[in-house]
């Protein structure tokens, strides 16, 4: 055996010796502790997933509550409009009480306008200018031909 053959064997022995030292220096892992660590990590992952689902559910609940509130206000507007005789599109308010108050104001305003535009007494004879309805020329011509071409009445 030559020196060259012995040298690689001593290098292999040196490496093996270093590996053995490193393994000896490393703490030994307790299988029970490793299992407990893996279970803890699994529980933490499950908690994170459930937290995401919970926050998503809270957001969905908030969105649905907003929809319910909006529909309740729309229903309150429709009911106030039906009860008081005003258009639901004109009624404003962010709560049922505000909607009812605004609808009552609109009804009072509507009645005030109607009272101003109402005639101040019964109509008298002669106040209607349309005693003789105005007819289109084509209809008048057809009537004149049917009547024998006579003279049209003084007022059409």
Q: How many CB atoms within 10 Å of residue 135?
A: 12
| Residue 93 reports pLDDT greater than 80 | yes
Structure-block tokens of residue 13? 């022995």
Highest mean pLDDT among 20-24, 94-98, 129-133: 94-98
pLDDT exceeds 50 at position 1:
no
94-106, pLDDT tens digit by residue?
888 999 999 999 9
pLDDT above 90 as % of the chain: 31
User: pLDDT tens-digit profile of 62-78?
Assistant: 999 999 999 999 999 99
Interatomic CA distance for residues 55 and 134, integer angstroms? 74
- Predicted pLDDT of residue 49: 94
User: What's the per-residue H, E or C state across the chain?
Assistant: CCHHHHHHHHHHHHHHHHHHHHHHHCCCCCHHHHHHHHHHHHHHHHHHHHHHHHHHHHHHHHHHHHHHHHHHHHHHHHHHHHHHCCCHHHCCCCCHHHHHHHHHHHHHHHHHHHHHHCCCCCCCCCCCCCCCCCCCHHHHHHHHHHCCCCCCCCCC
Range 126-155 average pLDDT: 65
List the Cα angle 62/65/69 in 5-degree steps. Answer: 140
Say what the pLDDT of residue 50 is. 94
């Amino acid at each position: 055996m030559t020196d060259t053959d012995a040298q690689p064997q001593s290098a292999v022995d040196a490496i093996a010796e270093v590996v053995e030292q490193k393994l000896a220096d490393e703490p030994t892992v307790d299988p029970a502790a490793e299992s407990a660590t893996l279970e803890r990590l699994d529980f933490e992952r499950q908690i994170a997933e459930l937290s995401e689902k919970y926050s998503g559910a809270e957001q969905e609940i908030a969105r649905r509550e907003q929809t319910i509130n909006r529909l309740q206000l729309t229903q309150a507007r429709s009911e106030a409009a039906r009860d008081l005789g005003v258009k639901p599109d004109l009624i404003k308010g962010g709560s049922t009480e505000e909607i009812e108050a605004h609808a009552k104001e609109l009804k009072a305003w509507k009645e005030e306008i109607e009272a101003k535009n109402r005639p101040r007494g019964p109509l008298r004879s002669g106040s209607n200018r349309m005693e003789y309805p105005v007819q289109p020329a084509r209809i008048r011509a057809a009537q004149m031909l049917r009547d024998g071409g006579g003279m049209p009445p003084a007022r059409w």
